[in-house]
Amino acid sequence: MATSEIKLTPKSLFGYVLFILGLVLLGYVAMNAIYVASGVFQPLRIVMTDPSSGRALITAVETQVFFGIVIQIGMYALLIAVASILMKTGLSVARKE
């Protein structure tokens, strides 16, 4: 009966560390999405003011929250892209001989 062996070299260990970092980033995004959806965290509000007068350029709270949600979605999309690149690179580094 053949047994399978896992050879742990520094290169493969580095690949697994990259993969785990990607998983941690995905977990962070998932937890933040759950917190925003359940109301624990509030979505961002974008408040733009005129530098000369100090008055708000966007006065509607709904518009401020909408712009904040769009920016939050972009931030989470960027983190998901980085996490997937880390995981893909980590697995390819870990499996190369």
67-79: per-residue pLDDT in tens? 999 999 999 999 9
| Mean of all residue pLDDT scores within the chain | 89
96, 14 Cβ separation under 8 angstroms:
no
Distances (CA, A) of 9 to 13, 14, 18, 20: 6, 9, 14, 16
Report how far residue 77's alpha carbon sits from residue 9's, in angstroms, rounded to the nearest whole number: 33
pLDDT in tens, 46-57: 888 888 887 888
The pLDDT assigned to 2 comes to 62
The runs of H, that is alpha helices, within the chain are 10-38, 61-95
What distance separates the 2 farthest-apart alpha carbons in the chain? 80
What is d(CA 12, CA 23) in angstroms, rounded to the nearest whole number? Answer: 17
